Amino acid sequence: MKILLAAPRGFCAGVNMAIESLDLAIETFGTPVYVYHEIVHNKYVVETFKEKGAIFVDDLDEVPEKSHLLFSAHGVSPEIRRIAKERGLIAIDATCPLVTKVHLEAIRYAKEKFTIVLIGHEGHDEVIGTMGEAPDSIVLVETPEDVAALELADDSKIAYLTQTTLSVDDANRIIDCLKARFPQIQSPPKEDICYATQNRQEAVRLIADDAELCLVVGSQNSSNSQRLKEIGKEKKIPAYLIDGPKDIDLVWFEGIENIMVTAGASAPESVVVECIDFLKEHFNATVETRTIRQEDVYFPLPRELRSLAQK
């Protein structure tokens, strides 16, 4: 068997920043350090931090007053920031800057009295945070059918934003529908879907042509990882989303000679290596790295931690 190993894959700059932030907070302040929602959507990462003493919460009432609290890479709403301040929590904001960009766009459009159409997945942490910036101005759409059902005047003052981890193709289909129905619709100066999401999706599209099966390392609640699996299936090959080697079923590989392996933006490289080692052991697999683009993006630590990192 030959493994076509996609590059880039795995951690993006926002995930690296968030994980480094939580590690530094634990090292500096001791445990427990509380985290609002999962630091990133990856089971392995979350379990590793639980072992280090991080406590993940979905309700700030679970956080004792004056505790250290880290906001996850997906961002939070102004209401959560207000509650944290009221409770005297020492907040560390590890929101990905690309998510913050979408929040700021939402605030700007709302101040200018636009109706904002947010393209995203209902219930996703990032979507909840973004909608919280201007709840009276934002409507959520997930499909082209949702666009058709929008109850807005055709000449409405309207703009669109997108969740950063969407499928580029899916988002473009919805954007095309919005532009067809509302030709006057405004868009952000620069698209919202993040560079890492786009690069990992492009790699799957290109490499899948030479593969008979696609393995995506990532967790089920990771939006960008789910999109990678979907793109594999769109390329007419079996595609599986796995947390690690324990999820691999040997039956998948009967009659398969070439597989591609990639990883979502919140999946650690150490888990990718474990999966490759598993395939080497069972199938005498060789590895060929396919690099479609170089990444050198870096996001600085939150300001609350920058001086600590320099000590």
- The residues carrying an active-site annotation are 126
Assigned token pair, 269? 């490289």
β-sheet bridge partners, residue 240: 215
Burial class (CB in 10 A: 0-12, 13-18, 19+), 246: exposed
Nearest to 190 by CA among 109, 265, 102: 102
Question: How many Å apart are CA 220 and CA 214, to the nearest integer?
Answer: 15
Cis check for the bond before 135: say yes or no (omega within 30 of 0). Answer: no
Other CB atoms within 10 Å distance of the CB of residue 112: 11
**How many angstroms separate the CA atoms of 74 and 124, rounded?**
9
Distance CA 213, CA 222 (A): 20
Q: Among 160, 134, 37, which residue's Cα sits nearest to residue 79?
A: 134
